[in-house]
Structure 1
């Protein structure tokens, strides 16, 4: 099929869902054109990943100051701030021009921030990959965040809920990454039944990791500007890391991810903790880690960091929420922690017992290759394409 893919960011290895779905669609012979926004100055590496895909790219380099001004002006209105931020006239113009050529079988919009661009094209089959229930994500941010971030989150909750509710029924198909988010979206818009397209992982890429743990090394990574990740790692460092260091004085913790907020950078002042910021290739860090942690307790969707740890064969300790969302076997594929005390004990168990780590190394890699492939996710996307195309004929 001929697919126009529209996103508010550049698909890359740092945005694994769109990057791998596009790569798999192209591998299967679909003709893909991508219209994507680039607002961040650090998008060069992401653009290189996109260009290496065999597609036709239209990259709109949006002016960051204008995007911020749009979001600021929207405070007085009802539009979600992040939607206003991405409401770029050049993106709308290019999408209109491409659709006017009349050569696309499907229009695929990823994320709520740009889904509104698709509302005017009622004659062409349209799929909205919501990925997460964004109103649920903002609700969790409103509960967790204080100061300016908390005020923004509280402002966003009602706006995003109303916007999602109105927008969802307008699309011919809606996809989402987790069952919990599918239920949340159906609750908002009862006429909508989202297709479940779970996140996968590039098992070949991460499987190249030569796992040789070096001492008591603990690893956390993720998008650190995302409130759930920042909250999780700050809480872990403040409440659990001193207990771990008390029993394992040589233990080290590496915190990796782009754009850490100031309070996350400050964690690097504690003994044994290093905050690295962005790294291009995570695999050398995975290769040396004895334990990967995913202490996230709130948020939407599937935790990529958990799947990447399993694919690399690094023993994973995660909250029960994460383990249950992936249906992992506690004790062999990962260690599940019910509460902070259990999380601390699980990390220490792996640091003290390398044999347990070796067992989990094998079972985790096997599970990923069996159940968490992008091929399976793309099968569902293709089925949705076919269904909505037939319905429009």
Structure 2
């Protein structure tokens, strides 16, 4: 079995948020064909209990404890070195030592890096076949953050956007291939970094449509008989926080003024103080972490995804579609999703449109044709099996570079160096 080094910035289990969903399905898919050596950070104490499950999919592993508070302090080194803050945030000497050991002792000829921050660990591995899955253009998210915030943080975010784009450019030029989560994301990166455009491609996220199925029994977590809107997502993520604050205060109040019995549930782990404060608004519930998001989707009247800052593909939209729910979403949440507005989902460009579309959907609640069409779109375009065929084809190129006789520890071909 061929061996691959897989570096991920966040422990790829459980698959309950955007990046972990993609990194986990990559891990599970590749484990069927490769002996995977996994290096990753664990930034949530609750994830340590899944170590054995993840180890069962791997060869050698290196799990590094990452305290977000400590990492934020460490990231300040970037101000003194002229580097993006993201790089020292995800830097660990122990992980670098482990990576060097793997490259020195194991016959690794493929390296897959998940997110740009992990590329720093294999910048020296020039004789291995290196693929970076950027997923999204992180530098552009920082640009959006800068445009949405005030001084002084907007200056910090703008600096991060500029320096991180420079680093993304360096990695894309240096590595053999760069992948993204959608064609739109890949096309934009190709324009930002034209010198690497020929190396840039994409493979979509997928949805486990058997797991996210409307045909399973789910107990109702809501007050029976009341119309209910739901938003799902990690509630310590800035874009999600911004979305629910704006929606609860700007849109939901308008909807509730015309339909006083409607409820809005914010479902997701680690809600910040700002999110928890929204529970004081009439009709708003903040659940915190839940064991299973599917009952909240299954019994909701509709799903709202009012993101104002977004990159790539939103898994929360695909999951709602798989559950045959009508989703009212922003243009930012629509980006990268191949679906037909008005037939498979509803797109609202501002607060007034959100309110009017939501009221129209609630008034016509018996119409299930949009939900059926949405699930059919997911089944047609967003299966993991179909999507991950793209990474198989990229890795297969290695076989045209190395012969069987040339499979040997990568360190024999390169100079191992720490940072």
Q: TM-score band (shorter)?
A: over 0.9
Answer whether contact 2:36 2:57 (CA < 8 A) is retained.
no
Matched, 1:205 2:205: no
- Considering Cα pairs closer than 8 Å and 6+ residues apart, tell me whether 1 or 2 has the greater RCO: 2
SS in 2 for 1:192: helix
> What's the CA shift for 1:55?
5.5
Distance in 1 between the 2:49 and 2:228 partners? Answer: 28
Could you tell me whether the CA contact under 8 Å between 1:136 and 1:184 is conserved in 2?
Answer: no
Q: Alpha carbons of 1:150 and 1:277: their partners in 2 closer, same or farther (altered >3 Å)?
A: farther
Q: Report if the CA contact (8 A) 1:256-1:275 is conserved.
A: yes
Shift of 1:388: 4.2
- CA offsets 1:57-109 (integer angstroms, 9 cap, x no match): 32122455653332122222212112111111111111111111132231100
Q: Quote how far apart the aligned CAs of 1:47 are.
A: 4.0
**Contact in 2 for aligned 1:323/1:334 (Cα 8 Å):** no
Quote the residue 2:370 is aligned against.
360
Q: Which of 366, 391, 395 is residue 385 of structure 1 equivalent to?
A: 395
Residues in 1 aligned to 2:216 and 2:305: alpha-carbon distance in whole angstroms: 19
Residue 72 of structure 1: aligned partner: 76
Q: Cα–Cα, structure 1 residues 90 and 39, in superposed 2: closer, same or farther, change >3 Å?
A: farther
Alignment of 1:109-120 (within 5 A): 109-120=113-124
* 1:149–1:359 CA distance, 2 compared to 1 (3 A): farther
Determine helix, strand or coil for the equivalent of 2:206: coil
Q: Could you tell me whether the CA contact under 8 Å between 1:25 and 1:378 is conserved in 2?
A: no
SS of residue matched to 1:105: strand
Shift of 1:318: 0.9
- What residue number does 1:17 align with? 22
Tell me the distance in 1 between the aligned counterparts of 2:79 and 2:154. 15
Higher gyration radius (CA): 2
The answer for the alignment partner of 1:171 in structure 2 is 175
Please say if 1:375 is aligned against 2:375. Answer: no
- Corresponding residue of 1:219: 230
Q: Write the distance in 1 (CA, Å) between the matches of 2:118 and 2:269.
A: 23
**CA deviation map 1:222-269 (0-9, x unaligned):** 123333222222111111111111122111111122333322221111
Q: 1:133 to 1:53 in 2, by over 3 A?
A: same
Q: CA RMSD in A?
A: 2.2
Q: Deviations over 1:129-188 (max 9, x none)?
A: 001111111100111123665343133122112211222111011111122321232233
The 2-side partners of 1:321 and 1:294 are apart by 9
Contact 1:216-1:248 within 8 A present in 2 as well: no
Q: CA deviation at 1:120?
A: 0.8
Contact 2:4 2:111 in 1 (8 A): yes
Q: Mean Cα displacement is larger for which, 281-290 or 224-233?
A: 224-233
1:102 to 82, 86, 106: 106
Q: Give the 5 Å matches for 1:1-393.
A: 1-12=2-13, 13-14=15-16, 15-27=20-32, 29-44=33-48, 47=51, 50-51=54-55, 53=57, 56-62=60-66, 66-146=70-150, 149-193=153-197, 194-207=200-213, 209-210=216-217, 214=224, 215-323=226-334, 325-356=336-367, 358-391=368-401
Which ranges of structure 1 fall in alignment gaps of 5 or more residues?
Answer: none
Give the match's secondary structure for 1:191: helix
Where do 5+ consecutive residues of structure 2 fail to align? 404-419
User: In 2, distance between residues paired with 1:233 and 1:305?
Assistant: 14
- CA distance change for structure 1 residues 386 and 141 in 2, over 3 Å: closer, same or farther? same
Aligned residues: 391
Q: 1:18 to 1:245 in 2, by over 3 A?
A: same
More helix by share: 1
SS where residue 81 of structure 2 aligns? coil
